Amino acid sequence: MKKLFLIALLSILSLNLINAQQLKSPNGETILSFLLTSDGIPTYQLSYKSKDVIKTSKLGLELKNDKKSLLNDFVITDTKNSSFDENWTPVWGEVKTIRNHYNEMAVTLNQKETNRQMIIRFRLYNEGLGFRYEFPTQKNLTYFVVKEEKTQFAMAGDHTAYWIAGDYDTQEYDYTTSKLSEIRALNAKAITANLSQKSFSPTGVQTSLMMKTANGLYINLHEAALINYPCMHLNLDDKNMIFESWLTPDVNGDKGYIQAPFTTPWRTVIVSDDAREILASKMIYNLNEPNKIKDTSWIKPVKYVGVWWEMITGKSSWAYTDDYPSVQLGITDYSKAKPNGKHGANTENVKKYIDFAAANGFDGVLVEGWNVGWEDWYGNSKDYVFDFVTPYPDFKLQEIRDYAKSKGVKMIMHHETSSSVRNYERHIDTAYKFMKANGYDAVKSGYVGNILPRGENHYSQWIINHYQYAVEKAAEYKIMVNAHEAIRPTGIARTYPNLIGNESARGTEYQAFGGSKPNHVTILPFTRLQGGPMDYTPGIFEMDISKLNPSNTSHVNATLANQLALYLTMYSPLQMAADLPENYNRFADAFQFIKDVAVDWDDSKYIEAEPGEYVTVARKGKGTGKWFLGSVNGDNSRTSNIPLDFLESGKKYTATIYADAKDAHYKTNPQAYTIRKVAVTSKSKLAQFCAPGGGYAISFLENK
């Protein structure tokens, strides 16, 4: 009997293998298997170098008011395989050219009972997998509402994960490092206060999710090309270690309104046994459409300073007066208000920043709190909150515009929407025209607070469409966009490179709101930065916030050398020197690195990487041949040992090394640093001490 059972089992397994569709990556190391179960449920598996990455996982969508949904009863009617290989040139980026090389399999499925058609398209790269659902034009499936997408990612073990709690409205959480099985117990502690937040499950997490397996694999789950669809979270079945997609709902609880023909965003799995390859991957970008902006000459990487940190710390205020607890635009008369004496966006102060930018070679100056309405701007579900064109009495807009122009400095606009999305769309053309008329080529937008229309979430389909609308509308006016509190990026900057930055994670501002974990910046490159650059606003030199504002006892949990390294490790074509000019003048020798470092690159080499522990990257400035290197460290001190073989062979360089002093510590001695010059070549090796929460930065000057 046992023998007959074994024969029967082997027969079933053989039949499954025969029915399975297989796809290999270009190098043959990553293998995808697609299979319909006996009751027509689509499933897939993924392996890397013969190791399980994704075990058998179900695919499909549950539809609203539809008894059948798109979950089972499918048969395969067609399979098309193809290969693709190209090199494309980004407008800005970490490298000069990007290779887009994959093998593709498009499986056409027909649902027998309903005669509805669905295509699942798989693209397999050397570093991972992208797949999406496609709904071609058809009679039996035109308009439908997604109740839930049922995409699964079945893990092969209880992996170590670097995660933030699932939330419909914020990504601004510190990361927790734990086993998957520990997420449920740690969830409540992982959720910290925010001005808008809505969690949904004790095992819900956000993408980009980074994991490490016991057998040495690094696995990253995310999505690409998030267009006209809600943001995907992941909900963990912690008994079976299976993640399932969990889409962000709208005010009615619906997940997505679809009209065929339609394609969903790509679901992505990046995998390697080398953490550096996760950081170097461009798969998310490659899964997006090519650039749609024909003339990109106006899109330029920017290094800037701004009237921002002094407000974040409480030294100054966004509001002009303390007289008005309630503001009604067009009615409230600011000419009769008594200035509070703390307003940061005043003409004299802004000119100081313009002078500082001009003297130190910065491209731009951001000013927040310049426009009326900040006395009464969030928390009251207020619709008409800002008009984006009316300055406070002490902000002489034309005078500042002309002064900045005379100094060769560009002003950067600030549009805080207070999440009143309808109000922003009502004013957006007028606001963008106002910007262009006054010489502003870039805008920092913000979405603080709960979304209006009321009941919508920051990451639901309608609001995703708003963010996209704002970027595309800005492109019409040749305006670059840096959106804060918006959806985390999914590579859309390839298609619309005027999306030059996003926040969409816990940025430097939280260092003034109680602090962030010292290893935070060693995780972000593996998570948030997978889909696009982050306006992290680095460069803080004074870590004791009470010295700026005695009532704020926060502490920046980083060393000064760590802050310098962020200009390399936290990639962005938009880099702020966020501290006050007087603090840079106090440490002028260290500030020299921020002045020197490039913001656009021809090449990047990830030299060391371990999530939560350290990241070391070297980058070659675009068109200059100059190399810079940055290394950030986690909780524990270490010695970084790296080769300098990225330098050009046969040439001699002077390396200026900005590093932690031996007694440096992010908490007790953050401003202890050393600067030394060393003669090096491509054959040199460097051993460099890194303090807890520390790091180092290097500029390389070729000897002529």
Q: Please tell me whether residue 311 adopts helix, strand or coil conformation.
A: helix
Whether 194 and 505 have beta carbons less than 8 Å apart is answered as no
d(CA 355, CA 590): 20
Residue 509 annotated to the active site: yes
- Annotated active-site residue in 509, 608, 610, 613: 509
Q: Is 294 exposed, middle or buried (0-12, 13-18, 19+ CB in 10 A)?
A: exposed
Whether 336 and 292 have beta carbons less than 8 Å apart is answered as no
Other CB atoms within 10 A of residue 135 CB: 21
d(CA 579, CA 256): 42
d(CA 670, CA 661): 9
Strand arrangement, sheet containing 673-680:
601-610, 614-621, 627-633, 695-702, 653-660, 673-680
Least Cα distance to 619 among 566, 578, 659, 574 occurs for 566
Least Cα distance to 118 among 130, 110, 126 occurs for 110
Q: Please tell me whether residue 365 adopts helix, strand or coil conformation.
A: strand
Whether 554 and 512 have beta carbons less than 8 Å apart is answered as yes
Residue type, 580: L
Q: What share of the chain is helix, strand, coil (3-state, %, to 5)?
A: 20, 35, 45
Distance from CA of residue 278 to its chain's centroid? 15
Cis peptide before 453 (omega within 30 of 0): yes
CA angle 308, 361, 433 (to 5 degrees): 60
Least Cα distance to 164 among 137, 192, 125, 143 occurs for 192
d(CA 699, CA 592): 10
Q: Is 588 exposed, middle or buried (0-12, 13-18, 19+ CB in 10 A)?
A: exposed
Strands, E assignment, 341-428: 364-367, 410-416
Buried b vs exposed e over 358-386: b needs ≥16 C-beta within 10 Å? bebebbbbbbbbbbbbbbbbbeeebeebb
**Dihedral angle sign, alpha carbons of residues 438, 443, 449, 452:** positive
d(CA 132, CA 140): 20
d(CA 591, CA 157): 46
Query: Helix 397-406 to helix 347-360 angle, to the nearest 10 degrees?
Result: 10
Whether 492 and 501 have beta carbons less than 8 Å apart is answered as no
Instruction: Return the active site residues.
Output: 509
